[in-house]
Structure formats: structure tokens, C-alpha cells
Amino acid sequence: MSDPIPLFDVQAQYARLREDIDARLRAVLDHGRYVLGPEVSALEAALSELAGGRHVVSCGNGTDALILALMAEGIGPGDAVFVPSFTFVATAGAVVAVGATPVFVDVDSASFNMNAADLEARVATVPDGLRPRAVMPVDLFGQPADYDAIGAVAAAHGLAVIADAAQSLGGGRNGVPVGALAPVSATSFYPTKPLGALGDGGAVFTDDADRAARLRSIRVHGGETRDGVNSRLDTMQAAILLAKLQSFTADRDRRASVAARYDAAFAGHLGLQVCAPGVSSAHAVYGILSPQRDALAETLKAAGIASRAYYATPIHLMASMAARSAGPGSLPVTETLTSQILALPLYADISDAQADRVIEAVLGAGADGLSTAAQ
Ligand SMILES: *Cc1c(COP(=O)(O)O)cnc(C)c1O
């Protein structure tokens, strides 16, 4: 069997950037400002430059970034926050962590992102006793959600818009980068994200100086005037991220070119995530839809190719959400997509030859046939 192909390869990227990363880490070890040191402010400034958002507040991880954003809007018990269910569990988990209630919204079968018409319908039918307060769209797999359509629904109902941009740093819509698409956006530096630390990290982006001041205060216990948490990005991770920023755009473009190679090969054979004109993805994850998803994953495994049903269980069907969800059948598009989705290897260091091996294995597996969800 040929060499195994992983889903992501964070070690290959480290090997490529090792000299710079190691030198920056030694500098931190020597200067000794291990928490909120100078690299943290340098990173926040660089991120503001890269992704828009006049103010960038770094924090401990992407889940905390969402929690800080929710706390800065004063969202808590009795508040409904509209979220997709086809996402990582932390999207809804952050809402639960502040005592608010996630209300699940279905997604669009082409973009895999929140469906604004369904948002409108869920706002109209919010359970008794809950106040509609915010909507948290997710930029699934790196593709920014439709902030124009969602923003219009939010404005009509007085909802705050908090972007879960954990997967989409480096993407944009109509020339506006992720980080400036919503009044407040949260991202993650988990190692496999588009900008990945060698550990945990996260950040919140906003143009609003008052909101940024609240976020900074909440990040360090709230001071004496408000509730807060301890969620700082440590200096070592900031130093690593500054090194990774040097190749951030080139790495994203390489992932985009591998994704385009996959798209060209799979078009007409498998359901794919479609990017609307003007929308650019960060290409964090490459997902295909196959009605024979589990069999396909087994075939790939036998060929040494990693894949993952990402996300196999929509959040509204998790046992932990049973009391907050209308259960099976309540989000038909999400339920179909999660039954067919399979993530394939995508990372900057994958070679064209490896990508072609993935393509051959997928097309050779007899998993052809357009998925019903994607039509
Ligand atoms: C990764 C991720 C998060 C959480 O980020 P962590 O840094 O792991 O806490 C939240 N939402 C989405 C969509 C994610 O992919």
C-alpha cells in the first residue's frame, strides 16, 4: 500500500515552518512575558490587517471567543440564539454555556450554511417564554454564510448577529474579509483550522470600540464592573501564529487549488458544497456527499486514505440537546446532509499526486450517483 494520506497534516506544516517557529518560541522563553506578552498585541494587529475588524481581541480558544461575544451582548437565560445544527457542537455549546437557549435553523442544500428563509420561520415560531436575541451563522468548511440575507432578517427582528467564523479565516464575500462581515465574529486557532496554533487559541473581531473594550474586560475576569472569565491567548501560541501568518495566504491558496482539483474531478459524480458568485472560501474542510458514505469511507481506509463523517450527528439530534430540540424530522436538509457528508484530505502540504490518489479512490469506489440533497 502507498503512504497513508491523513485528513490534515499539521506536522508537515510545522516541519516546513520549524526554523521561524522555534526562533520565535525561544524569544518568548527569553523575554518571559508568558501571558499577554508583546506577541499577543502584535498578532491582534496583524489579524486586524488580514481579516478586517478594527479591533481584534484574542482569547483561549474558539469556543471562548463565541462565549465572550455572547457575554459582550449581554445574552443569557431566557434568550433564544438561532444557530445551525450542521456544525461543530461548540456553536450551540457556547450558547448553552451562557445560560441561553439554542434554537436550531436548517441550512441551504447548496452552500451547507444557514438558510435565511428558515431563520425567519424559526423566529416566528420561537418557543413561548424565550426572547429572540441573536443569530449565530456558521461559515461551514470555510465558506462564509450569507450575511446579507441573514442580516436583513436579523435587522427586522432586532437580533444581534454573531458570526461563528471558526473555520473561515481567510475567506470573504464580495471583497469583504471574514472578520468584517458581521458586527462581531469569532474564530478559532485550533491546530487544524485555517490559521492553526500548536495548541488552543481564538479571537473575536469587531469594528465597535465599546464592544472591543467589553470583550477585553470580560476576557480578564470582567474587572469589578461586570461578569467575566479567564480566557487569554498565551504568548507562545501568539508567537507560533505570527510565524504561521507568514505563509497563511499561500497555504490558503494551495488548499483552494487542491479543492478546485477535487471539484473538477467530482462534478457530476457526487454532491458538493457550492460557493455562490462573489463568495470565497477559506477551504478549511473539503466535504463530498455520498449516499454510500460509510462504505466509501471503508474503501478509502483500505487504500490508506483518511476521511471523516464530518459532522455525522447534527447537534439537534445529540442526546445533550434533546430538551432543546424538536428532534428527528425538524431539520430535513441538515439531516440529509449529515447522513451523506464525508470530509476528504485537504491541507497545504498535500501533493497533486496524493490528491489524485484520493480522486481515483473515491471515483473508483462505485460511490457515484448524485446525492438527492445536492440537487
Ligand atoms: C473549531 C470550532 C469551534 C470551536 O473552536 P475551539 O477552538 O475548538 O474551541 C466552534 N465552532 C466551529 C464551527 C468550529 O469549527
Packing angle of the helix pair 62-72, 209-219 (nearest 10 deg): 120
How distant, in Å, are the alpha carbons of 8, 25, 278, 297 from that of 352? 15, 32, 26, 21
Give the pLDDT of residue 368: 47
Name the CA dihedral angle for 215, 219, 223, 224, rounded to a multiple of 10 degrees. Answer: 80
Q: Which residues have any ligand 1 atom within 6 Å of their CB? A: 61-63, 87-88, 90-91, 138, 164, 166-167, 188, 190, 200, 202
Going from the Cα of 284 to the center of ligand 1, the distance in angstroms, rounded, reads: 12
* Residue owning the nearest CA to atom 6 of ligand 1: 62
Of 80, 40, 31, 42, which is closest to residue 60 (Cα–Cα)? 40
Instruction: Give distance in angstroms: CA of 2 to centre of ligand 1.
Output: 32
Mutation test residue for ligand 1: of 68, 85, 167, 241, the one with most atoms within 8 Å of CB: 167
Question: For residue 83, what pLDDT is reported?
Answer: 98
For the chain, 375 residues long, give each residue's pLDDT as a single digit of tens: 579 999 999 999 999 999 999 999 999 999 999 999 999 999 999 999 999 879 999 999 999 999 999 999 999 999 999 999 999 999 999 999 999 999 999 999 999 999 999 999 999 999 989 999 999 999 999 999 999 999 999 999 999 999 999 999 999 999 999 999 999 999 999 999 999 999 999 999 999 999 999 999 999 999 888 999 999 999 999 999 999 999 999 999 999 999 999 999 999 999 999 999 999 999 999 999 999 999 999 999 999 999 999 999 999 999 999 999 999 999 999 999 999 999 999 999 999 999 999 999 999 997 443 333 333
Look at residue 53 in the predicted model and tell me its pLDDT. 78
Which atom of ligand 1 lies closest to the CA of 202? 7
CA of 269 to the centre of ligand 1 (A): 31
Distance from the CA of 190 to the center of ligand 1, in angstroms?
Answer: 7
Euclidean distance between CA atoms 138 and 140, whole angstroms: 6
